[in-house]
A = this chain, B = another copy of it.
Amino acid sequence: MRTIEWDDDRDCIVMVDQTKLPGEYTTYHAETIPQLVESIRRLRVRGAPALGAAGAFGVALAARRNEAATFDDYADAVAADAESVANARPTAVNLSREVETVLSELRACTSIPEARERTLAAATDVADADVERNERLGGNGAALLSDGETVMTHCNAGALATVDWGTALGVVYSAQEAGKEISVIANETRPLNQGSRITTVELQQRDVDVTLIPDNASGLCMQEGMVDAVVVGADRIVLDGGERFGDQGVVFNKIGTYKQAVMADRHGVPFVVAAPHSTVDTERSADEVEIEERDPDELREIYGTRNAPEGTAVYNPAFDPTPMELVDYLVTETGVYEPPLDRTTFEAAERTPA
Protein backbone atom coordinates (compact mmCIF):
# COMPACT_ATOMS: atom_id res chain seq x y z
CA MET A 1 0.00 0.00 0.00
CA ARG A 2 0.94 3.65 -0.20
CA THR A 3 2.15 5.58 2.86
CA ILE A 4 -1.24 7.30 3.00
CA GLU A 5 -4.33 6.71 0.85
CA TRP A 6 -8.13 6.62 0.80
CA ASP A 7 -9.86 3.48 2.05
CA ASP A 8 -12.94 3.16 -0.17
CA ASP A 9 -14.57 0.46 1.95
CA ARG A 10 -14.45 2.41 5.17
CA ASP A 11 -14.64 5.80 3.41
CA CYS A 12 -11.77 7.24 5.44
CA ILE A 13 -7.99 7.78 5.42
CA VAL A 14 -5.62 4.86 5.98
CA MET A 15 -1.90 5.28 6.65
CA VAL A 16 1.15 3.25 7.63
CA ASP A 17 1.53 3.93 11.37
CA GLN A 18 5.17 5.07 11.47
CA THR A 19 5.19 5.40 15.25
CA LYS A 20 5.10 1.58 15.38
CA LEU A 21 8.22 1.13 13.20
CA PRO A 22 10.46 -0.81 13.24
CA GLY A 23 8.63 -3.13 15.65
CA GLU A 24 5.39 -3.49 13.67
CA TYR A 25 4.31 -2.56 10.16
CA THR A 26 0.65 -1.73 10.80
CA THR A 27 -1.95 0.66 9.43
CA TYR A 28 -4.02 3.28 11.18
CA HIS A 29 -7.46 4.43 9.99
CA ALA A 30 -8.26 8.09 10.58
CA GLU A 31 -12.07 8.24 10.53
CA THR A 32 -12.42 11.67 12.13
CA ILE A 33 -10.60 15.00 11.90
CA PRO A 34 -9.33 14.80 15.52
CA GLN A 35 -7.86 11.36 14.75
CA LEU A 36 -6.09 12.77 11.68
CA VAL A 37 -4.76 15.81 13.57
CA GLU A 38 -3.43 13.56 16.34
CA SER A 39 -1.81 11.28 13.72
CA ILE A 40 0.06 14.21 12.17
CA ARG A 41 1.15 15.56 15.56
CA ARG A 42 2.36 12.16 16.77
CA LEU A 43 4.21 11.56 13.45
CA ARG A 44 2.16 8.51 12.44
CA VAL A 45 2.56 10.22 9.06
CA ARG A 46 5.64 12.45 8.43
CA GLY A 47 7.72 13.79 5.55
CA ALA A 48 6.69 16.92 3.69
CA PRO A 49 5.13 15.23 0.60
CA ALA A 50 3.22 12.68 2.68
CA LEU A 51 1.91 15.49 4.88
CA GLY A 52 0.65 17.26 1.76
CA ALA A 53 -1.47 14.21 0.93
CA ALA A 54 -2.62 13.98 4.55
CA GLY A 55 -3.87 17.56 4.33
CA ALA A 56 -5.62 16.94 1.01
CA PHE A 57 -7.34 13.76 2.21
CA GLY A 58 -8.17 15.55 5.45
CA VAL A 59 -10.36 18.06 3.62
CA ALA A 60 -12.05 15.20 1.72
CA LEU A 61 -12.64 13.39 5.02
CA ALA A 62 -14.27 16.48 6.52
CA ALA A 63 -16.36 16.97 3.35
CA ARG A 64 -17.58 13.36 3.34
CA ARG A 65 -18.38 13.12 7.04
CA ASN A 66 -20.06 16.46 7.68
CA GLU A 67 -23.87 16.28 8.04
CA ALA A 68 -24.84 19.98 8.05
CA ALA A 69 -28.37 20.84 6.84
CA THR A 70 -27.50 23.67 4.43
CA PHE A 71 -24.59 23.97 2.00
CA ASP A 72 -23.40 27.19 3.64
CA ASP A 73 -23.25 25.62 7.10
CA TYR A 74 -21.58 22.60 5.54
CA ALA A 75 -18.91 24.66 3.76
CA ASP A 76 -18.16 26.63 6.96
CA ALA A 77 -17.82 23.46 9.01
CA VAL A 78 -15.51 21.79 6.49
CA ALA A 79 -13.37 24.95 6.31
CA ALA A 80 -13.03 24.93 10.10
CA ASP A 81 -11.96 21.27 10.06
CA ALA A 82 -9.53 22.04 7.23
CA GLU A 83 -7.94 24.78 9.30
CA SER A 84 -7.36 22.46 12.23
CA VAL A 85 -5.66 19.96 9.89
CA ALA A 86 -3.52 22.69 8.30
CA ASN A 87 -2.35 23.80 11.75
CA ALA A 88 -1.51 20.33 13.07
CA ARG A 89 2.15 21.00 12.20
CA PRO A 90 2.57 24.64 11.33
CA THR A 91 6.07 24.35 9.83
CA ALA A 92 5.22 21.84 7.06
CA VAL A 93 4.39 24.07 4.11
CA ASN A 94 3.07 21.16 2.00
CA LEU A 95 0.39 20.43 4.58
CA SER A 96 -1.31 23.83 4.45
CA ARG A 97 -0.69 24.16 0.70
CA GLU A 98 -2.55 20.95 -0.17
CA VAL A 99 -5.33 21.65 2.33
CA GLU A 100 -5.86 24.85 0.36
CA THR A 101 -5.78 22.99 -2.99
CA VAL A 102 -8.71 20.79 -1.99
CA LEU A 103 -10.56 23.55 -0.16
CA SER A 104 -10.56 25.70 -3.29
CA GLU A 105 -12.18 22.76 -5.13
CA LEU A 106 -14.93 22.71 -2.53
CA ARG A 107 -15.50 26.44 -2.96
CA ALA A 108 -16.35 25.82 -6.62
CA CYS A 109 -19.13 23.37 -5.67
CA THR A 110 -22.81 24.18 -5.19
CA SER A 111 -24.15 21.08 -3.44
CA ILE A 112 -23.03 18.75 -0.68
CA PRO A 113 -23.03 15.60 -2.85
CA GLU A 114 -20.94 17.41 -5.48
CA ALA A 115 -18.48 18.64 -2.81
CA ARG A 116 -18.16 15.13 -1.35
CA GLU A 117 -17.20 13.77 -4.74
CA ARG A 118 -14.97 16.57 -6.00
CA THR A 119 -12.92 16.97 -2.82
CA LEU A 120 -12.03 13.28 -2.81
CA ALA A 121 -11.15 13.41 -6.50
CA ALA A 122 -8.94 16.46 -5.90
CA ALA A 123 -7.20 14.83 -2.93
CA THR A 124 -6.59 11.69 -4.96
CA ASP A 125 -5.03 13.87 -7.67
CA VAL A 126 -2.68 15.44 -5.10
CA ALA A 127 -1.54 11.99 -3.97
CA ASP A 128 -1.21 10.64 -7.51
CA ALA A 129 0.76 13.70 -8.60
CA ASP A 130 3.26 13.13 -5.79
CA VAL A 131 3.86 9.55 -6.88
CA GLU A 132 4.24 10.49 -10.56
CA ARG A 133 6.63 13.31 -9.68
CA ASN A 134 8.77 10.99 -7.57
CA GLU A 135 8.87 8.37 -10.30
CA ARG A 136 10.09 10.95 -12.81
CA LEU A 137 12.63 12.22 -10.27
CA GLY A 138 13.79 8.66 -9.56
CA GLY A 139 14.18 7.93 -13.25
CA ASN A 140 16.28 11.06 -13.73
CA GLY A 141 18.51 10.23 -10.77
CA ALA A 142 18.89 6.54 -11.62
CA ALA A 143 21.04 7.50 -14.60
CA LEU A 144 23.71 8.63 -12.09
CA LEU A 145 24.05 5.12 -10.59
CA SER A 146 25.74 2.06 -12.08
CA ASP A 147 25.07 -1.60 -11.50
CA GLY A 148 26.72 -2.88 -8.32
CA GLU A 149 27.19 0.51 -6.67
CA THR A 150 26.58 1.40 -3.03
CA VAL A 151 24.64 4.50 -2.03
CA MET A 152 24.91 6.08 1.40
CA THR A 153 21.79 7.90 2.57
CA HIS A 154 20.92 10.01 5.60
CA CYS A 155 17.51 10.11 7.32
CA ASN A 156 14.50 8.84 5.36
CA ALA A 157 13.71 10.45 2.03
CA GLY A 158 11.93 7.34 0.87
CA ALA A 159 8.49 6.00 0.09
CA LEU A 160 7.46 6.53 3.72
CA ALA A 161 8.27 10.27 3.59
CA THR A 162 6.13 10.64 0.45
CA VAL A 163 2.90 9.07 -0.82
CA ASP A 164 5.03 6.48 -2.58
CA TRP A 165 8.42 5.84 -4.23
CA GLY A 166 10.32 8.54 -2.38
CA THR A 167 12.95 11.04 -3.50
CA ALA A 168 16.48 9.95 -2.47
CA LEU A 169 15.38 6.33 -2.14
CA GLY A 170 13.21 6.73 -5.25
CA VAL A 171 16.48 7.15 -7.15
CA VAL A 172 17.59 3.77 -5.77
CA TYR A 173 14.24 2.11 -6.59
CA SER A 174 14.30 3.47 -10.15
CA ALA A 175 17.86 2.23 -10.63
CA GLN A 176 16.78 -1.16 -9.31
CA GLU A 177 13.79 -1.17 -11.68
CA ALA A 178 16.20 -0.44 -14.51
CA GLY A 179 17.99 -3.68 -13.65
CA LYS A 180 20.88 -2.24 -11.63
CA GLU A 181 21.76 -3.86 -8.34
CA ILE A 182 22.23 -1.09 -5.77
CA SER A 183 23.17 -1.52 -2.10
CA VAL A 184 22.43 1.10 0.53
CA ILE A 185 24.31 2.18 3.65
CA ALA A 186 21.75 3.81 5.96
CA ASN A 187 22.99 6.28 8.56
CA GLU A 188 21.09 5.85 11.83
CA THR A 189 20.23 9.59 11.85
CA ARG A 190 20.20 10.62 15.48
CA PRO A 191 18.34 11.88 17.32
CA LEU A 192 15.09 10.55 15.81
CA ASN A 193 16.68 7.50 14.16
CA GLN A 194 14.70 7.66 10.92
CA GLY A 195 17.54 5.78 9.23
CA SER A 196 17.41 2.80 11.55
CA ARG A 197 13.65 2.84 12.19
CA ILE A 198 12.23 3.67 8.76
CA THR A 199 14.80 3.54 5.93
CA THR A 200 15.88 -0.01 6.82
CA VAL A 201 12.26 -1.20 6.89
CA GLU A 202 11.27 0.14 3.50
CA LEU A 203 14.49 -1.00 1.80
CA GLN A 204 14.07 -4.51 3.21
CA GLN A 205 10.46 -4.57 1.96
CA ARG A 206 11.69 -3.77 -1.53
CA ASP A 207 14.54 -6.28 -1.40
CA VAL A 208 17.28 -3.67 -1.46
CA ASP A 209 20.42 -4.77 0.38
CA VAL A 210 20.82 -2.36 3.31
CA THR A 211 23.48 -1.98 6.02
CA LEU A 212 22.84 0.21 9.03
CA ILE A 213 25.70 2.27 10.51
CA PRO A 214 26.00 4.76 13.34
CA ASP A 215 26.25 8.30 11.93
CA ASN A 216 29.77 8.38 13.36
CA ALA A 217 30.94 5.60 10.99
CA SER A 218 30.15 7.32 7.69
CA GLY A 219 33.64 8.86 7.42
CA LEU A 220 35.32 5.50 7.95
CA CYS A 221 33.04 3.90 5.32
CA MET A 222 34.21 6.48 2.78
CA GLN A 223 37.84 6.06 3.83
CA GLU A 224 37.44 2.33 3.22
CA GLY A 225 36.01 2.93 -0.26
CA MET A 226 32.61 1.44 0.57
CA VAL A 227 30.55 4.35 -0.81
CA ASP A 228 30.00 5.20 -4.51
CA ALA A 229 27.52 8.05 -4.00
CA VAL A 230 25.74 9.86 -1.19
CA VAL A 231 22.07 10.53 -2.04
CA VAL A 232 19.91 12.60 0.30
CA GLY A 233 16.62 14.51 0.16
CA ALA A 234 16.08 18.17 1.00
CA ASP A 235 13.65 20.12 3.14
CA ARG A 236 14.29 23.44 1.45
CA ILE A 237 16.74 24.67 -1.18
CA VAL A 238 17.53 28.36 -1.57
CA LEU A 239 19.43 29.86 -4.49
CA ASP A 240 20.73 32.86 -2.52
CA GLY A 241 23.27 31.85 0.14
CA GLY A 242 22.94 35.07 2.12
CA GLU A 243 25.69 36.35 4.36
CA ARG A 244 27.23 33.01 5.30
CA PHE A 245 27.30 31.37 1.88
CA GLY A 246 27.21 34.29 -0.54
CA ASP A 247 26.45 33.67 -4.19
CA GLN A 248 25.95 29.94 -3.97
CA GLY A 249 22.71 28.14 -3.19
CA VAL A 250 22.16 26.18 0.00
CA VAL A 251 20.42 22.88 0.75
CA PHE A 252 18.64 22.65 4.11
CA ASN A 253 18.21 19.03 5.12
CA LYS A 254 18.22 16.79 8.20
CA ILE A 255 20.95 17.58 10.72
CA GLY A 256 24.18 15.79 9.80
CA THR A 257 23.72 16.19 6.04
CA TYR A 258 26.40 18.89 6.01
CA LYS A 259 28.96 16.53 7.59
CA GLN A 260 28.10 13.85 4.99
CA ALA A 261 28.65 16.38 2.23
CA VAL A 262 32.02 17.48 3.60
CA MET A 263 33.17 13.85 3.97
CA ALA A 264 31.98 13.02 0.44
CA ASP A 265 33.89 16.02 -0.89
CA ARG A 266 37.08 14.92 0.87
CA HIS A 267 36.81 11.41 -0.52
CA GLY A 268 35.73 12.33 -4.05
CA VAL A 269 32.35 10.62 -3.61
CA PRO A 270 29.52 12.28 -5.62
CA PHE A 271 27.04 14.06 -3.36
CA VAL A 272 23.51 13.99 -4.81
CA VAL A 273 20.45 15.90 -3.56
CA ALA A 274 17.12 14.48 -4.77
CA ALA A 275 14.09 16.71 -4.21
CA PRO A 276 11.02 17.90 -6.09
CA HIS A 277 11.07 21.34 -7.68
CA SER A 278 8.63 22.56 -5.05
CA THR A 279 11.48 22.29 -2.52
CA VAL A 280 13.35 25.11 -4.25
CA ASP A 281 12.57 28.44 -2.66
CA THR A 282 13.54 31.09 -5.21
CA GLU A 283 12.37 33.96 -2.99
CA ARG A 284 14.21 33.56 0.27
CA SER A 285 17.94 33.76 1.07
CA ALA A 286 19.66 31.32 3.45
CA ASP A 287 19.66 34.05 6.10
CA GLU A 288 15.87 34.01 6.17
CA VAL A 289 15.56 30.28 6.78
CA GLU A 290 15.17 29.56 10.45
CA ILE A 291 16.62 26.28 11.69
CA GLU A 292 14.06 24.56 13.92
CA GLU A 293 15.37 23.60 17.36
CA ARG A 294 13.69 20.53 18.74
CA ASP A 295 12.90 19.25 22.23
CA PRO A 296 16.04 18.70 24.39
CA ASP A 297 14.44 15.51 25.69
CA GLU A 298 15.06 13.90 22.29
CA LEU A 299 18.69 13.73 23.50
CA ARG A 300 18.16 13.40 27.24
CA GLU A 301 16.03 10.28 26.78
CA ILE A 302 15.93 7.52 24.17
CA TYR A 303 12.76 5.45 23.90
CA GLY A 304 11.85 6.56 27.41
CA THR A 305 15.18 5.62 29.03
CA ARG A 306 17.44 8.30 30.49
CA ASN A 307 20.39 9.06 28.17
CA ALA A 308 21.78 12.16 29.92
CA PRO A 309 21.25 13.69 33.35
CA GLU A 310 17.91 15.46 33.77
CA GLY A 311 18.18 19.14 32.95
CA THR A 312 21.40 18.77 30.91
CA ALA A 313 21.76 21.68 28.46
CA VAL A 314 21.13 20.46 24.92
CA TYR A 315 21.52 21.96 21.45
CA ASN A 316 19.22 20.01 19.13
CA PRO A 317 18.87 21.66 15.72
CA ALA A 318 16.74 19.68 13.24
CA PHE A 319 18.44 20.81 10.02
CA ASP A 320 21.73 22.10 8.74
CA PRO A 321 22.70 24.06 5.63
CA THR A 322 24.96 22.50 2.99
CA PRO A 323 26.46 24.96 0.51
CA MET A 324 26.06 24.09 -3.20
CA GLU A 325 29.86 23.90 -3.64
CA LEU A 326 29.57 20.50 -1.92
CA VAL A 327 26.63 19.30 -4.07
CA ASP A 328 27.58 17.52 -7.29
CA TYR A 329 24.07 16.89 -8.62
CA LEU A 330 20.60 18.18 -7.85
CA VAL A 331 17.94 15.77 -9.15
CA THR A 332 14.34 16.92 -9.59
CA GLU A 333 11.36 15.70 -11.62
CA THR A 334 12.52 17.92 -14.49
CA GLY A 335 16.12 16.75 -14.74
CA VAL A 336 19.58 16.56 -13.25
CA TYR A 337 21.29 19.89 -12.49
CA GLU A 338 24.96 20.44 -11.78
CA PRO A 339 25.53 23.32 -9.36
CA PRO A 340 26.24 26.18 -9.42
CA LEU A 341 22.65 26.44 -10.61
CA ASP A 342 21.92 28.72 -13.52
CA ARG A 343 18.94 30.50 -12.00
CA THR A 344 17.36 31.31 -15.38
CA THR A 345 17.45 27.75 -16.73
CA PHE A 346 16.37 26.38 -13.41
CA GLU A 347 13.41 28.71 -13.03
CA ALA A 348 12.36 28.05 -16.64
CA ALA A 349 12.38 24.30 -15.97
CA GLU A 350 10.23 24.87 -12.93
CA ARG A 351 7.57 26.63 -14.99
CA THR A 352 7.50 23.92 -17.64
CA PRO A 353 5.31 20.99 -16.65
CA ALA A 354 7.57 17.98 -16.97
Contacts and interface: CB of A to CB of B under 8 A. Distances in A.
Interface of A: 22-23, 185, 188-191, 193, 196-197, 200-201, 204, 209-221, 223, 244, 254-256, 258-259, 262-263, 266, 291, 299-300, 302-309, 312-317, 320-321
A179 B299 CA distance: 31
Interface of A is mostly: mixed
Contacts of A304: 305
Nearest to A314: B212
A191 B212 CA distance: 12
A315 B188 CA distance: 11
A193 B303 CA distance: 14
A269 B204 CA distance: 40
B204 A320 contact: no
Given A214-B299, A317-B220, A266 B255 contact: no
A166 to B, nearest CB: 18
B214 A316 contact: yes
Given A190-B215, A307-B22, A210 B258 contact: no
Which of A211, A212, A244, A304 gathers most chain B CB within 10 Å?
Answer: A212
B262 A266 contact: yes
A152 to B, nearest CB: 11
B219 A190 contact: no
6 contacts: A189-B216, A196-B308, A212-B314, A216-B255, A217-B256, A303-B303
Contacts of A305: 302-305
A351 B315 CA distance: 44
B255 A201 contact: no
